[in-house]
């Protein structure tokens, strides 16, 4: 039986506050930093713009949607994810060597960093807090199905689960399966379905209307 401290759900739950709660906390922190002269409001606005538009899992979602709609790009992505992402203008520090892992009907991939929190920043942004915690780093290896269930993903026993350990030299992300019911969708529409959790492998991509 898993101890309370070893469960992932409470860790993942840290990211499930309402938007209003998160906005209030961020505003309070911003006010304190500006009041103490630690940082200016213009710098905060700049960093907010960067993380909203230039860094984060929305970048990975663009890569996934491109692979879903362009077979030639998908082949290049699976052959050399770093170069394929650079084609779209995404790359840099913490993403010098990346590998994309393709989910199929019979194989599902999940990513962890057992030593620290190595993560493909250029496509997924900053790692979530739970990705860094010992509970995730240890259980992802010995009980990946249990971890995925706590994130809401319950795979059939017929699906093989492969866990990949990222490092400072090599970082992985998942190319999830394209959901049914999206034939004819544009890349922009598909991007909206792709989540950070799906590209780490703890979640899946929901079909439209699911």
Query: Which candidate in 15, 41, 48, 116 is catalytic?
Result: 116
- Note whether 55 and 47 are within 8 A (CB): no
Condensed to tens digits (0 to 9), the pLDDT of residues 131-159 reads 999 999 999 999 999 999 999 999 999 99
Residues 43 and 74 both lie in one domain: no
Lookup: tokens for 166: 């990222």
| pTM strictly above 0.85 | no
CA distance 181 to 207: 7
The question of whether 158 is a catalytic residue gets the answer no
Range of the domain at 19: 11-54
Residues 43 and 60 both lie in one domain: no
Condensed to tens digits (0 to 9), the pLDDT of residues 3-22 reads 334 455 444 443 445 557 76
The question of whether 118 is a catalytic residue gets the answer yes
- Mapped onto helix, strand or coil, the DSSP state of residue 108 is strand
Residues 48 and 63 both lie in one domain: no
CATH number at residue 65: 3.90.330.10
Residues 41 and 90 both lie in one domain: no
The question of whether 117 is a catalytic residue gets the answer yes
Condensed to tens digits (0 to 9), the pLDDT of residues 29-48 reads 778 877 878 877 776 665 55
The question of whether 113 is a catalytic residue gets the answer yes
Residues 102 and 28 both lie in one domain: no
Residues 21 and 115 both lie in one domain: no
CA distance 36 to 154: 48
Residues 44 and 108 both lie in one domain: no
């Amino acid at each position: 039986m898993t101890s309370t401290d070893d469960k992932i759900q409470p860790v993942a739950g840290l990211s499930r506050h309402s938007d209003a709660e998160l906005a209030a906390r961020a505003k309070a922190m911003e006010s304190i930093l500006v009041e103490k002269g630690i940082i200016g409001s213009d710098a905060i606005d700049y960093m907010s713009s960067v993380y909203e538009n230039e860094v984060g899992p929305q970048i990975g979602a663009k890569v996934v949607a491109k692979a879903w709609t362009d077979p030639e790009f998908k082949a290049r992505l699976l052959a050399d994810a770093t170069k394929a992402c650079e084609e779209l203008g995404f790359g840099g520090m913490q993403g010098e060597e990346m590998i994309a892992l393709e989910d199929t009907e019979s194989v599902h991939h999940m990513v962890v960093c057992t030593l620290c929190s190595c993560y493909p920043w250029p496509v997924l942004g900053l790692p979530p807090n739970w990705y860094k915690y010992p509970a995730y780093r240890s259980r992802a290896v010995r009980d990946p199905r249990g971890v995925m269930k706590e994130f809401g993903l319950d795979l059939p026993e017929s699906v093989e689960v492969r866990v990949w350990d990222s490092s400072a030299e090599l970082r992985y992300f998942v190319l999830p399966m394209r959901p049914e019911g999206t034939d004819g969708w544009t890349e922009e529409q598909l991007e909206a379905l792709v989540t950070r959790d799906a590209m780490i492998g703890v979640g899946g991509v929901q079909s439209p209307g699911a």
